[in-house]
Structure 1
Amino acid sequence: MSRHSKNATATTHFTYHERAAAGHGTLKRRFGRDAQLAFGACYLCLAPTRGRSPLASPAGFVYCKECVYANLLAQKRAIQERVAAYERHAEAQSRKAQDAALRRERETLQKALDAAAQRPPADEQDAAVRRLQQKVDTATDDDRRAAMQRTSFWIPDCTPSHEAAVDKPDTKTRDPMSLDEMKLKHLMPLKLDWDGDEVLCAVTKKEVAHRRAVLLRPSGHVVLESCLQDMVLPTMTCPVTGLKLRKKDIVHLQAGGTGFSAHSTVEAKKYRPTMT
């Protein structure tokens, strides 16, 4: 027996290795710990917020003060540019409509003046024939021009024109991550307890890491959700400062990522054509 049948790609069926090498089927990959954002890191610059005045958005995302201020300022400048472009477009459209209305009025007035200045023909029948012939010629020219626009669109005179529409811009600044409406007054300062590169719970002094944590807005302290259930909700006071809390003062923060595929959906999928 020849050795040809023992080659890796010489089988009669399409193997899993060949199918994967050919780029067919869904591709799955897991993100490791290095690809996950740690708790307490800025969602814009991806650097730890230690000593950088961390702020939290209403959606629970943590940002550096400098980064989020710069982002909101860039959004405001972009909004101003879009509003100016929209106003210029609206002004141009209004001017175009006024010019078209003025042109129609002029044409109507000119037709009336021409009709008043025209002498009555000696033979009414000849005049009617001429008017009918003029209408036929005009209709024929219009049909010919429309047919050329449909079939000979590459001719400069017959090239269709399309004017880009400018929609009314959104004038609200938004959270860079959740895209919810957000202003400077919505940002909340954080008082994070650091142990090296890890953030600690303000009460239990345990590492937050990938655990769920909440922000107590009046004091700015961050505690674990387990501590929230045991020590905060029964009395509705901050365990560190003793300040009174309301339900809206408890903000759930986004958890840090881990290397486990069951946490934070760290498995990515890419759908590709499937061979059957």
Structure 2
Amino acid sequence: MTRHARNCTAGAVYTYHEKKKDAQASGYGTNTQRVGKDSIKDFDCCSLTLQPCRDPVITPDGYLFDKEAILEYIITKKNEYSRKLKEYEKQKKKEETELAEIAAAEKDSKLNSFIKTEKNIVSTPVTAFKSDTKNNDKPSVSNMTEGRDKHLPSFWIPSKTPEAKETTLKKPDKTIYCPISGKPLKVKDLINVKFKEVNDPDDKKPLVVKKSRYMCAVTHDVLSNSVPCAVIRTTGDVVTMECVEKIIKKDWLHPLTNEKLTEKDIIPMQRGGTGYSITNDKLQGKHERPVLQA
């Protein structure tokens, strides 16, 4: 019996090759592809704008930002805190006013009840076996009495409908957190970074267009995403981790200024990652499409 080719469709079994071929042609299934270089942020780009930094600063955790972008972020968060604090104080003041009104209403109710009882004792005869048909004693159905004029429902505003529940605001947190690491961030903790440009007289391209823009301040090695880098806290110079391990850690002296350094003065730079939740770990993107059922 002769063997059929892979493209033979006379078989009773829907083979894996046929399923894969049909999925690729029809647009079904999941495409898996390794993320390319264009999808990864460069090591010298801001973590907020994803553009090359004009005035770079770095946090103690090693995240690089453009000074203008991170200061604008901090100011925005401070303004948001001020707005939320005003709303919280307004709600708190409203609650205090409502409690005072409830206490005053209870006091007036007790006073009216006492006056009514006194009037019945003095001038009104006891009518224990007679039904009272006076309209004055019936509760009012109006929305404007008994303080209900301040809590009128509105069917055009969602927050004021009869079924809506009031949301209780919590006191806002004054602390500003780093947008990348989530740790507390202060302006005084930002450290200015000094990149050393690659001096190539033959390359007339602008700095932004160049592939090799910066180099190590000590060894003059070209810096890129594949080269682990670190920032010296005292001067802001960018060096490679190889320079830190082989040169700086021998005597803990700055190679350019000869000042004394410590372990805290070395800030490893966080290298560029993708836009996914896990960076530099699984550089793989998946595009899920409808599954073709057999």
Which TM-score band applies after superposition, normalised by the shorter structure? 0.7 to 0.9
Identity rate, percent: 23
Aligned ranges 1:15-26 → 2 under 5 Å? 15-16=19-20
Are residues 1:221 and 2:227 paired? no
What amino acid sits opposite 2:83 in the alignment? E
Residue in structure 1 matched with residue 164 of structure 2 by the alignment: 161
Residue in structure 2 matched with residue 266 of structure 1 by the alignment: 283
Residue in structure 2 matched with residue 206 of structure 1 by the alignment: 221
Residue in structure 1 matched with residue 47 of structure 2 by the alignment: 43
Q: Is the 8 A contact 1:202 1:222 kept in 2?
A: yes
Distance across 1 between alignment mates of 2:9 and 2:290: 28
Distance across 1 between alignment mates of 2:88 and 2:97: 14
Distance across 1 between alignment mates of 2:22 and 2:102: 66
Distance across 1 between alignment mates of 2:286 and 2:265: 37
Distance across 2 between alignment mates of 1:170 and 1:43: 24
Residue in structure 1 matched with residue 71 of structure 2 by the alignment: 69
What amino acid sits opposite 1:251 in the alignment? I
Distance across 2 between alignment mates of 1:178 and 1:241: 31
Q: Is the 8 A contact 2:35 2:284 kept in 1?
A: yes
Distance across 2 between alignment mates of 1:232 and 1:77: 43
Aligned ranges 1:1-276 → 2 under 5 Å? 6=9, 15-16=19-20, 28-49=32-53, 52-119=54-121, 126=129, 159-195=162-198, 196=210, 197-210=212-225, 211-257=227-273, 263-269=280-286
Structure 1 spans left out of the alignment, 5+ residues: 131-137, 139-153
Name the SS for the 2:231 alignment partner: strand
Distance across 2 between alignment mates of 1:12 and 1:227: 56
Distance across 2 between alignment mates of 1:163 and 1:68: 35
Q: Is the 8 A contact 1:30 1:266 kept in 2?
A: yes
In angstroms, what is the RMSD of aligned CA positions?
3.6
Residue in structure 1 matched with residue 3 of structure 2 by the alignment: none
What amino acid sits opposite 1:182 in the alignment? L
Residue-pair matches, total: 239
Higher relative contact order by CA 8 Å / sep ≥ 6: 1 or 2?
Answer: 1
CA deviation map 1:77-136 (0-9, x unaligned): 122112112211221122122212222222222222222222388778638x99xxxxxx
CA deviation map 1:176-209 (0-9, x unaligned): 2222211110100111112254321122111221
What amino acid sits opposite 2:50 in the alignment? L
Offset, 1:15: 2.3
Offset, 1:167: 2.0
Offset, 1:253: 0.9
Relative distance call for 1:101 and 1:19 in structure 2 (3 A) is: farther
Distance across 2 between alignment mates of 1:223 and 1:98: 65
Bigger Cα displacement from structure 2, 224-233 vs 262-271: 262-271
Distance across 1 between alignment mates of 2:269 and 2:246: 18
CA deviation map 1:25-63 (0-9, x unaligned): x653432111111111122222222xx221001221111
Relative distance call for 1:264 and 1:203 in structure 2 (3 A) is: farther
Distance across 2 between alignment mates of 1:268 and 1:32: 10
Structure 2 spans left out of the alignment, 5+ residues: 1-7, 133-138, 140-154, 156-160, 199-209
CA deviation map 1:216-238 (0-9, x unaligned): 10121111112211122232221
CA deviation map 1:213-263 (0-9, x unaligned): 1111012111111221112223222122212112222211111359xxx94
Name the SS for the 1:74 alignment partner: helix
> Which has a greater percent of helix?
1
Q: Is the 8 A contact 1:188 1:220 kept in 2?
A: yes
Name the SS for the 1:112 alignment partner: helix
Offset, 1:168: 1.6
Name the SS for the 1:214 alignment partner: strand
